[in-house]
Amino acid sequence: MINRSRPPADPRLTERRNPATGDIDLADPARIVELLNREDRRVPEAVWAVRAEVARAIALVEAAFRAGGRLLYVGAGTSGRLGALDAAECPPTFGSPPEMVQCIMAGGEAALGRSTEAAEDDAAAGAAEVDARAAGPDDVVFGIAASGTTPFVRGALTRGAARGARTVLLACSDPPAELLASVDLAILPKVGPEALTGSTRLKAGTATKLVLNAVTTGAMIRLGRAYGNLMVDLVASADKLRDRGERIVMEVCGVERAEARRAIAAADGRVKTAIVMVKRGVDRAEAERLLAAAAGRARGAVGEPPPPVEGAGADG
């Protein structure tokens, strides 16, 4: 007689089967897109539900940066790769030094391009990586684990706390009670079971990207690395970014491209400094002094807001 007993239900939400996609293997391409998109539409709602926790994370990271500390992401697999992506995008977007936001990846850099999933099971390795970076009270150790149970991440968070760092856990399923009690902050967007069971590169990955985007963008904005909604601390390392920097100076200062280009060159490539130089009619040294006095905020150094956004207020 065939034993049809079911295995015990996995307590992790990310490992449960999704009843809405049980026949996805029979679907044509259009239906697959419909099913995936229907599930994806749940993600923003889940992230919205934890907005208070995301705001607290922004405040923790801002405080770390102001103290000269770092944001240390820790993850494995998709979670780690998303942390690495966010860390890599901060320097060109905000002009931040590479060491300011880092990612500790289970399996090391090789795991960014090739799956080394077994590395996630080594809690001691996670702890050792935190030791190797000498994490301390000025830092935030930010664990990313879709399931909430990754040993590598747990080891890093535990060691980070022992070294006095602030600790944050981002997961899409309830973590073990002892881990939840040990971190300073848990961000738990419940996106529900994946369309493809256990494939957390789907909804959980999307939720993770949204949260990480908000945390670093929010913290950098709080540090004055934006003027209105303009990326005035970008690093003009490519033609697209050089063009964007020139257009920002043109818009904010009301000058032609040639003058904007000269101002940026005189500011040693720093768009924010160039804006202060042109708006206040000062040299680079004085612009830098004004920015320092305004805690790095262009709005304070210039003494006025940026030009209004065209069409602002049209949508209420």
Within a domain: residue 269?
Answer: yes
Task: Quote the distance between the C-alpha of residue 58 and its chain's center.
Answer: 10
Within a domain: residue 26?
Answer: no
pLDDT score of 13: 78
Q: How many CA atoms lie within 13 A of 150 on its CB side?
A: 32
Q: How far apart are CA 208 and CA 102, in angstroms?
A: 16
- 113 and 172 both lie in a single domain: yes
303 — pLDDT class (breaks 50, 70, 90): very high
302 — pLDDT class (breaks 50, 70, 90): very high
CB 139 within 8 A of CB 74: no
Within a domain: residue 30?
Answer: no
* pTM exceeds cut of 0.85: yes
Tell me the residue type at 143: G
Within a domain: residue 19?
Answer: no
- 157 and 258 both lie in a single domain: no
CATH of the domain at 203: 3.40.50.10490
- 201 and 243 both lie in a single domain: no
- 257 and 291 both lie in a single domain: yes
The angle at the Cα of 5, spanning 4 to 7, to the nearest 5 degrees, equals 125
- 163 and 82 both lie in a single domain: yes
Q: Count structural domains, the chain.
A: 2
- The CA-to-CA distance between both ends of the chain, in Å, stands at 67
- 184 and 294 both lie in a single domain: no
Tell me the residue type at 106: A
Is residue 233 predicted with pLDDT exceeding 50?
A: yes
Is 266 strand, coil or helix?
Answer: helix
Reply yes or no on whether 117 is catalytic: no
Spatial CB neighbours of 9, under 8 Å, sequence gap ≥ 6: 16
Beta strands in 26-123 (DSSP E): 71-75, 101-105
Task: Single out the catalytic residue among 120, 129, 194, 288.
Answer: 120
198 — pLDDT class (breaks 50, 70, 90): confident
> Of 210, 265, 199, 222, which is closest to residue 21 (Cα–Cα)?
199
Task: Quote the distance between the C-alpha of residue 227 and its chain's center.
Answer: 20
Task: Single out the catalytic residue among 15, 53, 89, 251.
Answer: 89
12 — pLDDT class (breaks 50, 70, 90): confident
Within a domain: residue 14?
Answer: no
Reply yes or no on whether 120 is catalytic: yes
Count, residues in the chain: 316
Within a domain: residue 49?
Answer: yes
Within a domain: residue 168?
Answer: yes
CATH of the domain at 262: 1.10.8.1080
Full domain range(s) for residue 246: 239-302
Task: Quote the distance between the C-alpha of residue 273 and its chain's center.
Answer: 26
Q: Using one digit for the tens of pLDDT, what is the confidence trace for 34-46? A: 999 999 999 999 9
228 — pLDDT class (breaks 50, 70, 90): very high
- For residue 67, the 8-state DSSP code is T
| Pair of tokens at residue 180 | 């939840």
- DSSP secondary structure letters along 200-221: TTTHHHHHHHHHHHHHHHHHHH
- 99 and 211 both lie in a single domain: yes
- 204 and 259 both lie in a single domain: no
Q: How far apart are CA 151 and CA 37, in angstroms?
A: 31
Within a domain: residue 38?
Answer: no
